[in-house]
Amino acid sequence: MSFSAFLPPRRILMGPGPSDVPPRILEALGRPTIGHLDPRFVDLMDEIKVLLQYAMQTENPLTMPISAPGSAGMEACFVNLVEPGDKVIICQNGVFGGRMQENVERCGGAAVVIQDPWGNAVDPQKLEDTLKAHPDTKVVAFVHAETSTGASSDAKTLVELARRHGCLSIVDAVTSLAGSPLKVDEWEIDAIYSGTQKCLSCVPGISPVSFSERAQQRISNRKHKVQSWFLDMNLIMGYWGQGARRAYHHTAPVNAMYALHEALLIVHEEGLENAWERHQRNHLALKAGLEAMGIRFIVDSAHRLPQLNAVAIPEGVDDADVRRRLLGEHHLEIGAGLGDLAGKVWRIGLMGHSSRIENINHCLQALETVLADVGAPINPGVALSAAQKILAA
Ligand SMILES: *Cc1c(COP(=O)(O)O)cnc(C)c1O
C-alpha cells in the first residue's frame, strides 16, 4: 500500500454546514503552534472572549468557546443546568430538539416535550399552556434556528415566557449566531451554545457558549456533581476565567483558536447588523431565483431562515442523483433532508462566507443545468436575472 498527502477537492459549500472557510481564516490556522499557557495565548483567549461577547451581544463573563463541536456546547448547557429529577420543557420542531430530549433524559431529568410540525416555528402559545400545566418546570429549551427544516423561532418571546414562569432558558444558536438577529442580554437568554462552522465560517470543532448570572448561580448551587468531567463549567471556568490565574484543564486546540479569533475579527469588521442584513438580502436573491425556476420553499415566509433555505424537491426528481451531480460536475454541496423530510427537501445554506453573490449565481446555474438535464419541470433561463434584480434594487 502506498500513501500520500490528502489534497481535498475544491468545493462550494452550500449545505447545512460547514460553510466556505475564507482564506484569511485558513491562513490563521496555519500559524505556528504555541503553548496553551503561553502568556501570548492567554492574551488571545481573553480577546476571543470579548469578540464572542460582541457576536452574542452579551456581557456575560461566562462566555467562552468549548473545545469541541456544537453538540458538545449543547451537552455543556444541559449537563450543567439539569440535575436528576429536574423537569425540562423541550420545544421540538426538528432534529435538534430531539437531541435536547436525549440530553435531558441522560442527565436524569424529566423531559416534557412540545411538538410542532417540521418546518413550523415553535408555537409560543403551546409553551405557555405547557408551563401552566407544569409549574414545577426548571428549564425551557428550544432551537432558535432549526437547521434541519429552515425554520426560525421567536427566541425573545419564548425566553420571556420561560422567565415569567421562573424557568431558565437554554437556546440552540448554532445556526443563528452571526446569521440572523440574536441578542443574548436584551432577550435575557440564560444559556446559549453555538458552533463555528455555520455563519462564523470557521473550521468545525469549536462551540461558543455563554451563561447568564442566573445560570451561573444555578451551576454553583448544584446538589449533584456535573456528571461530565470535561464539560463541568466549574472546572472550565478555572481555565477560561478572566483575570484569575489559568489552571490546566485540557489543552485548547491552539490553532483552531487562531482560526476562531480570525473569524470573530471578520464579524467585528463587517459589523453584526451588516452581517445580518447581508444574509437577509442574499436569501431574498436566492429565493427570487429559485422561485422563478419554479422551486417552492417549505417554510412559511414569516419564519424562514435566511441562512438555511429548505425547498421542495421537484416532482419525479431523484434526490441523491441530483446532489451527486451537483457535487461531481459543479463542485457544489447542498444538503439533503433529514428525518421526516428525507427525500422531500433540499437544504441550501447561505451561511457566513458562503452567503455571497458568486455562490448564489453558481448554485442557480448548477441547479438549473442539472434539473433541466434530468427533465425536471422547471422554467429555464429566468433564475439568474430574477436574483440579479433583487441585488440591484
Ligand atoms: C449543526 C448543528 C448542531 C450540531 O453542531 P455540530 O458542530 O455538528 O456538533 C446543533 N444544533 C443545530 C441547530 C445545528 O445546526
Indicate whether 302 and 171 sit together in one domain.
Answer: no
Q: Which amino acid is at 324?
A: R
Indicate whether 166 and 99 sit together in one domain.
Answer: yes
Q: Which amino acid is at 281?
A: R
Which helix (H) or strand (E) segment holds residue 55: the answer is helix 39-56
CB burial readout 291-324, b (16+ within 10 A) else e: bbbebebbbeeebbbbbbbbbebbeebeeeebbe
Distance between CA atoms of residues 319 and 329, nearest Å:
15
- Closest residue (by CA) to atom 2 of ligand 1? 174
Indicate whether 87 and 230 sit together in one domain.
Answer: yes
Structural domain count, the chain:
2
Q: Which of 299, 295, 298, 274 is nearest to 286 (CA)?
A: 295
Q: Which of 55, 40, 76, 75 is nearest to 265 (CA)?
A: 55
In a domain, 6, yes or no: no
In a domain, 2, yes or no: no
CB atoms within 10 A of CB 135: 10
Indicate whether 224 and 349 sit together in one domain.
Answer: no
Looking at residue 242, its pLDDT comes to 57
Nearest 5°: phi and psi at 143?
-100, 125
What is the span of the domain harbouring residue 243? 23-268
The CA 72 to ligand 1 mean position distance, Å, reads: 9
Q: In CATH, what number is assigned to the domain containing residue 31?
A: 3.40.640.10
Contact 310, 290 (CB under 8 A): no
Indicate whether 76 and 211 sit together in one domain.
Answer: yes
The CA 384 to ligand 1 mean position distance, Å, reads: 31
- Closest residue (by CA) to atom 3 of ligand 1? 70
Answer with the one of 268, 288, 312 that is the final residue of a domain.
268
In a domain, 15, yes or no: no
The CA 148 to ligand 1 mean position distance, Å, reads: 10
Answer with the one of 268, 302, 334 that is the final residue of a domain.
268
Distance between CA atoms of residues 114 and 112, nearest Å:
7
User: Ligand 1: which atom is nearest the Cα of residue 197?
Assistant: 7
User: Ligand 1: which atom is nearest the Cα of residue 96?
Assistant: 11
User: Ligand 1: which atom is nearest the Cα of residue 195?
Assistant: 7
User: Ligand 1: which atom is nearest the Cα of residue 204?
Assistant: 7
Strand ranges (E), 118-253: 137-143, 145-146, 151-152, 168-172, 191-193, 207-211
Q: Which of 341, 392, 322, 317 is nearest to 117 (CA)?
A: 341
Q: For residue range 138-181, what is the model confidence (pLDDT) as tens digits?
A: 999 999 999 999 999 999 999 999 999 999 999 999 999 999 99
- Closest residue (by CA) to atom 15 of ligand 1? 147
Indicate whether 294 and 261 sit together in one domain.
Answer: no
The CA 71 to ligand 1 mean position distance, Å, reads: 6
User: Ligand 1: which atom is nearest the Cα of residue 74?
Assistant: 10
The CA 82 to ligand 1 mean position distance, Å, reads: 20
Residues with C-beta less than 6 Å from any ligand 1 atom: 17, 69-71, 74, 96, 143, 147, 172, 174-175, 195, 204
Indicate whether 56 and 153 sit together in one domain.
Answer: yes
For the chain, residues with pLDDT lower than 50 are none
Distances (CA, A) of 153 to 89, 103, 118, 123, 303: 16, 21, 12, 8, 7
Distances (CA, A) of 351 to 265, 280, 356: 17, 11, 9
Distance between CA atoms of residues 246 and 251, nearest Å:
12
Indicate whether 205 and 292 sit together in one domain.
Answer: no
Indicate whether 307 and 225 sit together in one domain.
Answer: no
CB burial readout 156-171, b (16+ within 10 A) else e: bebbebbbebebbbbb
DSSP single-letter state for residue 116? -
- Residue in 66, 71, 142 to alter for ligand 1 test, most ligand atoms within 8 A of Cβ: 71
Q: In CATH, what number is assigned to the domain containing residue 383?
A: 3.90.1150.10
Global pTM value: 0.97
- Closest residue (by CA) to atom 5 of ligand 1? 70
Helix intervals (H) in 271-342: 272-293, 319-330
Answer with the one of 243, 268, 293 that is the final residue of a domain.
268
